[in-house]
């Protein structure tokens, strides 16, 4: 299985994630890209700061890759990137790409992957407003995705 | 173990403590929970975060009863917000 | 809602689909990219030829966009591209991107979208082998995606 | 209607007929089904595809009973293979 796991201060290169999974035997590539939003509950966000426990975050990405390969054995590649540092509004903060021979597995594994990243990745997010800032925890939803 | 250990702090815990690493001196037989308690005593500002934080030792999540060994890397992980 | 619908002889520019949906209020972008595979049932495919009824295909894309906006009202953008003409192995033949404020809706709408494209788009695919060629029909699976 | 209509053929239907458009002369009151039957008579090679094909008139899918009007664009759409 092809894998790429990144914690990066540079802008996430979504095209590079795709390229990392290029495989003439895999017809399906599902991707999710999370971008920073300009508002939280009506309050304007100026920019965001992400902070990671880098070594553990990369380990968690590897664990997720192993889990996905077990749940969907036909998956041929997984690429994950998470941005750290100051991230401007509208920029990608996280991206996950999953390749497989067929679309069902790629789509289901991608949806599962972003759910697990939100729940497990040791990354913290601070929203910076004009008049202050706030650490924002993820609300962990149940994994209700089907298609496994 | 006994002696000094380094605790890494992240996110709101780091901000509340005003530092990304804190050195603690712990007695022989200290556990991860003892390190958390010593941290709360040294930095009262992060006290409310600690019950909701996970603890990792050497990149493995541990429970509070886990004994520490010299040279362990202890990390305090508040609820995450990635993505 | 932002929309982009393309039937194109040029290579699909996946980054341009993303850019078309850029929106500081939408934090989630789900994408699916279908690429041509090098084999069908063990037989080596040299390249593919896609042919579309272009005017109807663009209408079908618009109809799908309207359907998705009805099923997932929070969706903020949909971009769809389908390649026609000769497509080399490993190149993208189809891509769909869906943006929304939250990931559930973007992922569910994207999965539904590629299913519907496969079932409805007036596009025909010919696999070219060393010793001949074959028109390949899609096998229409039930839409079992959840999360709507 | 009566007179000449143009039928567009796609994919395997186009290949079997050896042409992307076929002109047909149809009698007054002809339907989409009549156009399909006339096409089968003119190009026996596509006969087996026609029962499995959809028919569109002016970019709308129609059933075989739909009457045709002068100037209609008729299209024969074999089972699709996009994606």
d(CA A123, nearest CA chain B) in Å: 5
Contact (CB<8Å) A114/C107: yes
What's the burial of C143, exposed, middle or buried (CB within 10 Å: 0-12/13-18/19+)?
exposed
Which residues in chain B are closer than 8 Å to A122, comparing Cβ atoms?
10, 56, 75, 77, 80, 82
d(CA B3, nearest CA chain A) in Å: 25
Q: What is the pLDDT of residues C29-64, one digit of tens each?
A: 999 999 999 988 889 999 999 999 999 999 999 999
Contact (CB<8Å) B82/A114: no
**Chain A touching partners, 3 or more CB pairs below 8 A:** B, C
Contact (CB<8Å) B82/A137: no
Among chain A residues, the shortest Cα distance to C46 is held by A24
- Counting residues of chain C whose pLDDT is more than 90, the rounded percentage is 86
Contact (CB<8Å) C117/D75: no
The beta strand positions in chain C, using DSSP E, are 2-8, 28-35, 39-40, 43-44, 47-52, 77-83, 85-88, 92-100, 123-129, 132-135
Q: Which of C57, C117, C124 sits opposite D78 (nearest CB)?
A: C124
Q: Which residues does C contribute to its contact with D (CB < 8 Å)?
A: 34, 50-53, 55-57, 59, 82, 93-94, 114, 117-126, 135-138
Question: Measured between alpha carbons, how far is A53 from A56 in angstroms, rounded to an integer?
Answer: 6
- Lowest-confidence range among A84-93, C78-87, D1-10, D33-42? D1-10
Residue C4 contacts by C-beta under 8 Å, 6 or more apart in sequence? C17, C20, C21, C78, C79, C80, C81
Q: Which pLDDT band holds residue D47 (cuts at 50, 70, 90)?
A: confident
Give pLDDT, residue A39: 87
Better-predicted residue by pLDDT, A114 or C139:
A114
Which residues in chain A are closer than 8 Å to C101, comparing Cβ atoms?
37
Chain C contact present for D33, CB below 8 A: no
Exposure on the CB side of residue D35, measured as CA atoms within 13 A? 36
Which residues in chain B are closer than 8 Å to A136, comparing Cβ atoms?
81
Q: Which of C14, C29, C37 sits opposite A24 (nearest CB)?
A: C37
Evaluate whether A29 touches C32 at the Cβ level (below 8 Å).
yes
Q: Is the pLDDT of residue C147 over 50?
A: no
Residues of chain A with pLDDT under 50: 143-148
Which residues in chain C are closer than 8 Å to A34, comparing Cβ atoms?
27-29, 103
Evaluate whether C123 touches C49 at the Cβ level (below 8 Å).
no
Q: Name the H helices within A31-125.
A: 54-71, 103-120
Give pLDDT, residue C141: 62
CA-wise closest residue to C54 among D64, D51, D8: D8
CA-wise closest residue to B80 among B54, B47, B59: B54
Q: Which of D14, D78, D82 sits opposite C94 (nearest CB)?
A: D82
Question: Measured between alpha carbons, how far is B57 from B8 in angstroms, rounded to an integer?
Answer: 10
Among chain D residues, the shortest Cα distance to C34 is held by D83
Asked whether the whole model's pTM tops 0.90, one would answer: yes
Contact (CB<8Å) C114/A107: yes
Phi, psi of B25 (to 5 degrees): -105, 120
Q: Is the pLDDT of residue B71 over 90?
A: no
Q: What is the pLDDT of residues D48-72, one digit of tens each?
A: 999 999 999 999 999 999 999 888 9
Contact (CB<8Å) C125/D79: no
Contact (CB<8Å) C122/D82: yes
Question: Measured between alpha carbons, how far is A61 from C112 in angstroms, rounded to an integer?
Answer: 27
Contact (CB<8Å) D59/C55: yes
Q: What is the pLDDT of residues A16-51, one digit of tens each?
A: 999 999 988 889 999 999 999 998 888 999 999 999
d(CA A116, nearest CA chain C) in Å: 13
Which residues in chain B are closer than 8 Å to A52, comparing Cβ atoms?
10, 82
d(CA D78, nearest CA chain C) in Å: 8
């Amino acid at each position: 299985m092809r894998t790429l796991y990144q914690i990066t201060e540079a802008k996430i290169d979504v095209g590079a994630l795709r390229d990392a999974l290029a495989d003439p035997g895999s017809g399906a590539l599902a991707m999710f890209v999370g971008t920073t939003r300009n508002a939280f509950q009506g309050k304007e966000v100026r920019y965001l700061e992400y902070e990671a426990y880098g070594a553990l975050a990369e380990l968690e990405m590897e664990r997720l890759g192993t889990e996905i390969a077990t749940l969907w054995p036909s998956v041929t590649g997984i690429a994950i990137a998470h941005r750290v540092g100051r991230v401007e509004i509208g920029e990608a903060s996280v991206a996950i790409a999953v390749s497989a021979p067929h679309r069902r597995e790629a789509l289901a594994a991608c949806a599962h992957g972003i759910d697990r990243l939100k729940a497990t990745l040791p990354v913290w997010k601070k929203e910076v407003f004009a008049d202050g800032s706030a650490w924002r925890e993820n609300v962990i939803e149940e994994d209700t995705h089907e298609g496994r | 173990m006994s002696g000094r250990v380094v605790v890494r702090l992240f996110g709101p815990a780091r901000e509340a403590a005003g530092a990304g690493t804190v050195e603690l001196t712990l007695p022989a037989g200290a556990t991860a929970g003892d390190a958390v308690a010593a941290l709360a005593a040294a930095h009262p500002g992060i006290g409310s975060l600690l019950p909701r934080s996970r603890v990792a030792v050497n990149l493995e999540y541990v429970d509070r009863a886990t004994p520490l060994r010299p040279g362990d890397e202890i990390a305090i992980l508040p609820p995450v917000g990635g993505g």
